[in-house]
Chains A and B, each alone.
Chain A
Amino acid sequence: MASSSGPMTGPATAPSGSGPGRLTRWGKLLSRELTTVAITMFGLLAITFLIARVIPIDPVLAVVGDNARPDVYEAARLALGLDKPLWQQFAIYVGKVFTGDLGTSILTAQPVISDIKRVFPATLELATLGTLVGITFGIPLGVLAAVNQGRWPDQIARFIGLFGYSIPIFWLGLMGLLLFYAKLGWVSGPGRISIAYQDFVTPMTGVILLDAVMQGEWDAFWNGLSHLILPSAVLGMFSLAYISRMTRSFMITELQQQYVIAARVKGMSEARVIWRHALRNALVPLTTVIALSYANLLEGSVLTETIFAWPGLGRYITNGLLNADMNAVLGGTLVVGAIFIGVNLFADILGRIFDPRTR
């Protein structure tokens, strides 16, 4: 089978574009990716577990309180399995994680997993829209800058990039609220949805816009959107700055390649040379960049969420941290890590689709 010699087969055994060889190749790649994911996940679990053992917070005291009698303390310690050897504790921990048991939050008195199910959709909504803003404006801006390298469109793009990157996000958020909410009234203020609409939508996915559409509650949808627009624009500004800078530098590299000259020799229009030939190649490294920036936003952006009273993951973890709510913090960390791994896997697969050389 041609695929046995790996993706870089020579001309003699050049793999054909279809057939069973291609399927086994993708199967192999997928199993290799999944192995990597499994190993990384295991490492992540080990780290969260060890952090919980290392921190100077006594998990028993967190349950029984400071004034518990020694026998109560001891009983709680046994109940938590803290007398067992470390590897057994780890096995129990892993088993619990896989059944969705991340412990109970001290702060909310709820299982951490249900807390996260509640706060994560809020972050997901914000991060996704922010990244979409970043992609929609960042890529064209970066391309424009690269094509006009050193001339005024490049300078403007550079200014926007520098602005988005260096303006503190809390200041930008506050100014946005002041102008578009307080003065102009174009958008709604902090929070995910106005109280008046709160009970219109029953949470299904937890993403308000999605739930509203599925239930046909268009008033609630527009209200949710008007709440979402400002924070996602603020996050998007940051994402845009990053994506446009990276697009610019990848595009400059691609535009210097010989195949770009060849495309021009063929008589292709400049637009086609840029968007179809050069950008198509620049998308390969850009996928990774965008995925990483998306994963960063998915961790929750504490500053944005705080200013816009957005009940998301970043605020949840930060609150947990400030209140020594270790189950919440470690549960959140685990979820964030898992998201990171997942997004990376997705970016890897997308990169392979974009780049035939890595298949």
Chain B
Amino acid sequence: MSEAVVALLEVDNLKVNFHTPTGIVRAVRGLSFSLGRERLGIVGESGSGKSMTGRAILDLIPYPGEVLADRMLFRGEDLLTMPKATRRKLRGRRISMVMQDPKFSLNPVMTVGDQIAEAYRVHHKANAREARERTLAMLDAVQIREPERVYALYPHEVSGGMGQRVMIAMMLIAEPDILIADEPTSALDVTVQLQVLKILDDLVTSRGMGLIFISHDLHLVQSFCDRVIVMYGGKAMETMPAAELADPSAMSRRHPYTLGLLGCLPELGNPKGRLSTLTRDPEWLA
């Protein structure tokens, strides 16, 4: 019983600070959440600390950043006291991340196949042939039709949608428990967005992974996730079941910031004329 209750990830009072010459920039200020084998959405405007939360979990906050937390547990193991090298071995193997734009997040001078195979070989003892086999199977799993041909292509030779599927293949080949998807479809054409999301969803569901889906697209998060955290200024404004974002009867329970975000959305069937601007209350960050 208690085994099943242990969450994949537990974060208590996470803070990310950057010590700059002009003072401390607080990117995340006291965020707490836990993640099971579910799809957790994090939404918020630019600079609300969504991406920094993802980076902090992966221990990839660049210098001069600093990560503080009361607790940060991965399947009960303390990430904060773990040696750097152990932490690195978790990356890719246990916790992975799909990044925003495949144009920039794939190495331009390596074939996409080699980049995927490399991700497999860091974590598994495998010779080149085995890694290649696994890579081709993984390319097939992200619905790339001619894996053999695509394996030898360079990133500039593939389209955005295909590049993002390559990225997903690369980040899932080592079969992690948690996938952080940092705006995985924002750089893609609308037509391929849903296709890529579908592939991502299928893989995450069939492998029973926990997904942290970072986005600023409220509609997308509402239809794609189980739970949603709304972030503003590095803090969680509220956490709720995703379905409630579209539930008119739940609106009275919503945080004013969430209502503000929803108010900014244009609706196709119901033109509002001038869209409302977001009002932000400094009190929320107190």
Which residue of the partner chain, among A8, A16, A356, contacts B149 with CB atoms under 8 Å? A16
Q: What's the count of A-B pairs with C-beta under 8 Å?
A: 92
**Taking the complex as formed, is B153 at the interface, i.e. its CB lies under 8 A from any CB of chain A?**
yes
Known: A262-B105, A267-B174, A284-B109. Is A15-B99 also a contact (CB below 8 A)? no
Binary interface encoding of chain A residues 238-271 relative to chain B, with 1 for a CB under 8 A from any of its CBs, else 0: 0000000000000000000111011111111100
We find that the number of chain B residues with CB closer than 8 angstroms to chain A is 38
A258 to B60, CA, bound (A): 12
**Taking the complex as formed, is B207 at the interface, i.e. its CB lies under 8 A from any CB of chain A?**
no
Q: Please, which residue of chain A has its CB at the minimum distance from the CB of B58?
A: A265
Chain B positions within 8 Å of A265 at CB level: 58, 60, 91-92, 96-97, 99, 171
Report yes or no: A17 in contact with B152, Cβ–Cβ below 8 A. Answer: yes
**B106 shortest CB reach to chain A, Å:** 6
**Taking the complex as formed, is B154 at the interface, i.e. its CB lies under 8 A from any CB of chain A?**
yes
Report yes or no: A261 in contact with B99, Cβ–Cβ below 8 A. Answer: yes
Known: A261-B99, A265-B60, A267-B93. Is A356-B158 also a contact (CB below 8 A)? no
Binary interface encoding of chain B residues 133-154 relative to chain A, with 1 for a CB under 8 A from any of its CBs, else 0: 0000000000000000100111
Chain B positions within 8 Å of A277 at CB level: 107, 110
Report yes or no: A266 in contact with B171, Cβ–Cβ below 8 A. Answer: yes
**A166 shortest CB reach to chain B, Å:** 29
Chain B positions within 8 Å of A357 at CB level: 108, 154, 156
Report yes or no: B108 in contact with A259, Cβ–Cβ below 8 A. Answer: yes
Chain B positions within 8 Å of A9 at CB level: 157
Chain A positions within 8 Å of B106 at CB level: 259, 262
Q: Please, which residue of chain B has its CB at the minimum distance from the CB of A10?
A: B159
Q: Please, which residue of chain A has its CB at the minimum distance from the CB of B149?
A: A16
A269 to B119, CA, bound (A): 11
Known: A11-B162, A262-B99. Is A281-B109 also a contact (CB below 8 A)? yes
Q: Please, which residue of chain B has its CB at the minimum distance from the CB of A359?
A: B154
Chain B positions within 8 Å of A266 at CB level: 91-92, 96, 118-119, 122, 170-171, 174
Binary interface encoding of chain B residues 84-116 relative to chain A, with 1 for a CB under 8 A from any of its CBs, else 0: 000011111100110111001111111100000
Report yes or no: B91 in contact with A267, Cβ–Cβ below 8 A. Answer: yes
Chain A positions within 8 Å of B122 at CB level: 266-269
Report yes or no: B157 in contact with A14, Cβ–Cβ below 8 A. Answer: yes
Q: Please, which residue of chain A has its CB at the minimum distance from the CB of B92?
A: A267
Chain B positions within 8 Å of A14 at CB level: 153, 157-158
Binary interface encoding of chain B residues 156-170 relative to chain A, with 1 for a CB under 8 A from any of its CBs, else 0: 111100100001001
Instruction: Determine which residue in A11, A277, A280, A354 has the highest number of CB atoms from chain B within 10 A of its CB, and name it.
Output: A11
A354 to B171, CA, bound (A): 26
Known: A264-B91, A266-B118, A266-B170. Is A258-B109 also a contact (CB below 8 A)? no
**Taking the complex as formed, is A33 at the interface, i.e. its CB lies under 8 A from any CB of chain B?**
no
**Taking the complex as formed, is B219 at the interface, i.e. its CB lies under 8 A from any CB of chain A?**
no
**Taking the complex as formed, is A74 at the interface, i.e. its CB lies under 8 A from any CB of chain B?**
no
A258 to B157, CA, bound (A): 18
Chain B positions within 8 Å of A284 at CB level: 109
Report yes or no: B109 in contact with A280, Cβ–Cβ below 8 A. Answer: yes
**Taking the complex as formed, is B19 at the interface, i.e. its CB lies under 8 A from any CB of chain A?**
no
**Taking the complex as formed, is B280 at the interface, i.e. its CB lies under 8 A from any CB of chain A?**
no
**Taking the complex as formed, is B123 at the interface, i.e. its CB lies under 8 A from any CB of chain A?**
yes
Binary interface encoding of chain A residues 1-37 relative to chain B, with 1 for a CB under 8 A from any of its CBs, else 0: 0000000111100111110000000000000000000
Residues of B participating in the A interface, judged by any CB pair closer than 8 Å: 58, 60, 88-93, 96-97, 99-101, 104-111, 118-119, 122-123, 149, 152-154, 156-159, 162, 167, 170-171, 174
Known: A263-B107, A277-B110, A357-B154. 12 other contacts (CB 8 A): A8-B156, A11-B159, A14-B153, A17-B111, A258-B99, A261-B60, A262-B99, A262-B170, A265-B60, A266-B91, A266-B119, A267-B91
Q: Which 3 A-B pairs have the closest CB atoms?
A: A267-B92, A17-B152, A11-B159
What are 8 A-B contacts defined by CB distance under 8 Å? A263-B107, A266-B96, A266-B118, A267-B91, A267-B174, A354-B109, A355-B108, A355-B109
